[in-house]
Amino acid sequence: MFDLDRFIADCRATLAADQSHKHVREVVARAVADPSSVLSGLGEPKRAGLHKLYQSNDLTILNVVWAPMMTILPHNHNMWAIIGIYTGREDNIFWRRIPGSGGRVEAAGAKALCEKDAEPLGHNIIHSVTNPIPRFTGAIHVYGGDFFKPTRRSEWDPETLLEGPLDPERNVRRFEEANAIFAKSRG
Ligand SMILES: [Fe+2]
């Protein structure tokens, strides 16, 4: 079964040996290669949220659970990340800044992530995420820094695609709103 303490220790040891995220990706890939083991270790996803598994200055590990059909706005992290899917799907749109536009972005690419995928995201990546299926999606997200430390992170307005400051608390509220919408849809 997926052993969280072992996973954290493996990520820490890999990071100590090599500050890049290349080898951490291999640790995540190994974990999600056996999705049923991760499901046994972390539990079946039942509630959308950024569930914290580990937090330090140079490493954060989250169990990110997306509600059915949930979409999150374009945002950046200002640190590298690895996304490992252990159940469901994530559709990622990647965005790039339009020079001279006052912070506007345009779509630059997309990637459909499936169970067992472990996708590395570079330090400067801007992405938005949709769970395109009518059930919860669960993913282990590993970040090369303290994800919850207030930094100059941005998000982009979904209508105008203009840049604004990312409010971490509002971000958490969006997951709660997604849970409320899901509960309502269930009657
Ligand atoms: Fe993200």
pTM, rounded to two decimals: 0.94
Using one digit for the tens of pLDDT, what is the confidence trace for 26-82?
Answer: 999 999 999 999 999 999 999 999 999 999 999 999 999 999 999 999 999 999 999
Distance 10 CA to ligand 1 centre (A): 22
Distance 129 CA to ligand 1 centre (A): 7
Distance 117 CA to ligand 1 centre (A): 16
Instruction: Residue 72: name the closest of 185, 156, 184, 142 by CA.
Output: 156
Distance 29 CA to ligand 1 centre (A): 18
Using one digit for the tens of pLDDT, what is the confidence trace for 107-144?
Answer: 999 999 999 999 999 999 999 999 999 999 999 999 99
| Tokens describing residue 33 | 């290669």
Spatial separation of the C-alpha atoms in residues 53 and 120, rounded to whole Å: 19
